[in-house]
A and B are shown apart, each in its own frame.
Chain A
Amino acid sequence: MKISARNVLKGKVKQVKAGSVNSEVIVKTDNGTEIVSIITKESAKNLKLAKGKTAYAVIKASNVMIMTD
């Protein structure tokens, strides 16, 4: 996968929760971090996303917000 996004996190699908148009997909990385994604229901179906399937969460560097305590 050669993509411009700086963050490509490999994990397994933990949950796919379908809404009316969008689905909420939770990807859990190997070290336990959970990443929540909102994608269209159609896309979740096309990618055959289901619990346990290996997937990559892709986040552009410009979309990452940083906060401190």
Chain B
Amino acid sequence: MVPVIEAKKLSHAYDKRNILKEVSLSLDRGDALALIGPNGSGKTTLLRLLDLLERPYSGRIYFNGDDVTRSGRRRLHARRRMALVHQKPIVFNMNVFNNVACGLKFRHVDRKIVHRKVERILELVDMSDYRNRDARMLSGGEMQRVAIARALVTRPEVLFLDEPTANLDPASVSKVEDILARIISRGKTAVLMTTHDMAQGQRVARKIGVLINGEILQIGSPGDIFFAPVSKRVAEFVGVENILPGTIVSKENDLAIVNINGVEVQVITDLAQSENVHVMIRPEDITFARTRDASSARNVFQGVINRIIPLGPLTRIEVDCGISLLGVVTTRSASEMELKTGSNLYASFKATAIHVIKRG
């Protein structure tokens, strides 16, 4: 199958400052990819290149297999088959119905068909009751839904969304996410969205790409990205909080011992002995106990509580066990166990819960 849109080694620079470095990606019909990355990582620039609003400094863009990197005529043809929804919703000074209808009117579509298509799309974004309202008087979330409807009504083969929920309140965010999930599940459009909210990437798309400093560092399922990040930079961005540098000192089958600052941690890895590694332990995989009971967890360390940070239903516990470990427990557990700063505690985690990557 020829991908609907494909980028090959796209690089771009503004004022000799590199914004994108050899970015490659491709989307088939029905694919949904969420690009996550911090502000300034090049997400918007990448969308503007793919939406053919700007030409890349180097690299190629293909639309249904046609090279649309340079040729003006081909770019125009391809651009008519794409749509971009901006971070800040844009609506025109007219009612909701006409806002959504405008792409069809520009294409001289018959009035009856316009009516039918617009009504159907308004239903999809739950805005049917707003059809006669002045679009400029809507809330931010409603405006964004109108903008999405306007983008969809021309049946684009690729839908780009640039931080579509960045300025919205939580209720509007989940409304827009629901609509995006609906669009994706119809499988007719390739959807490429950017977000700086990793959880949103996970909620909406089946595939996530991590873009940091203009480079795509990893593309994969949410499970891959969150539980098996390929590098320290990806791990830090997706919120892995215990990233500990160490060295594999022994190995038997796949069970290895990593020396971290004098503390020996048991892990499952296929990396070899004497390899320098980063050991990653997700805070939710750490369990705390007052006493040392017989347990299958390979790693049990005694430590002292450094800090207790309640965060609503969950509480973060920082324990110094020779290595500093951050764990998360329910606030209920923390209070039942009467955890206090300075008191002793056992932290335990399974060897299989640890993700190990090469360091250096």
State whether these chains interact: yes
Residues of A within 8 A of B (CB): 1-6, 20-22, 25, 37-40, 42-44, 46-47, 58, 60-63
B334 within 8 Å of A (CB atoms): yes
B288 within 8 A of A: yes
The residues of A that contact B333 with a CB separation of less than 8 Å are: 4-6
Residues of chain B in range 304-360 having any CB-CB distance to chain A below 8 Å: 314, 327-330, 332-334, 337, 350-352
| Interchain CB contact under 8 A, B289 and A43 | no
Interface residues of B (CB under 8 A from A): 253-255, 266, 268, 284-285, 287-291, 293-298, 314, 327-330, 332-334, 337, 350-352
Tell me if B's interface is mostly helix, strand, loop or mixed. mixed
Q: Is the CB of A3 within 8 A of B287?
A: yes
Assess whether B296 is in contact with A44, with CB atoms less than 8 Å apart.
yes
Contact of A60 among B253, B254, B284, B293 (CB under 8 A): B284
On whether the beta carbons of A1 and B289 are closer than 8 Å, the reply is yes
Q: With A6-B332, A58-B287, A63-B284 known to touch, is A43 a contact of B254 (CB < 8 Å)?
A: no
**B327: A residues at CB distance < 8 A:** 4
Chain B residue numbers with a CB within 8 Å of A60 are 284-285, 287, 329
- In the complex, which residues of chain A have a beta carbon less than 8 angstroms from the beta carbon of B293? 1, 3
User: Which residues on the A side are within 8 Å of B314 (C-beta)?
Assistant: 62
Inter-chain CA distance A47–B285, complex, in Å, is: 21
Q: Cβ of A2: which chain B residues have Cβ within 8 Å of it?
A: 289-291, 337
